[in-house]
Amino acid sequence: MFYQAKVTHDDDTWLAEFPDCPGCQTEADTEDELLAMAKEALHGWLEVSMEHGDVPIAPRHHGVQGFMRVDVPPDLAVRLQLRLARHNAGLSQDALAKRVGVTQQQIAKLEHPESNASITTLAKVAAALGMTLDVRFEKVA
């Protein structure tokens, strides 16, 4: 999972802005520093958004020119995808919990940025959402 940042350069500053994450932006002195700064800004923005119970906007493809890919770490991506799937299904945490056979607090914990759910649990939640869980290893490009 990744988001795209719009990259601009003005005199001595490189700027990365995330169209899908309102208010999430960062700047750096060099283009090389920008990716690291953009990762930190995006990850922090997503974690705070999720801690507040928000449903962040799902990442959209904005094109290649003028944009930079910023990956979301797998642990955060899983929780974000869970929250997006539940929201898109029109379910509250309580309603999803009933489908899975757990408590609302357990669903809230699964969606929290610091949780560490087992693959078995995630597969049960995916099934309750009418989805499958796809876990794979991919070669780094």
**For the chain, which domains are there?**
2-71 (3.30.160.250), 74-128 (1.10.260.40)
What three-state secondary structure class fits 79?
A: helix
- Sorting pLDDT into bands at 50, 70 and 90, what band is 1? very high
Cβ neighbours for 3, distance < 8 A, ≥ 6 positions apart: 18, 20, 21, 42, 59, 70, 72
Predicted confidence (pLDDT) at residue 113 exceeds the cutoff of 90: no
Q: What is the pLDDT of residue 107?
A: 95
- pTM summary value: 0.88
Residues 28/14, Cβ–Cβ less than 8 Å: yes
- Sorting pLDDT into bands at 50, 70 and 90, what band is 11? confident
Closest CA to 1 of 115, 109, 132, 135: 135
Q: What is the pLDDT of residue 50?
A: 92
Predicted confidence (pLDDT) at residue 81 exceeds the cutoff of 80: yes
Q: What's the rounded mean pLDDT across residues 96-100? A: 97
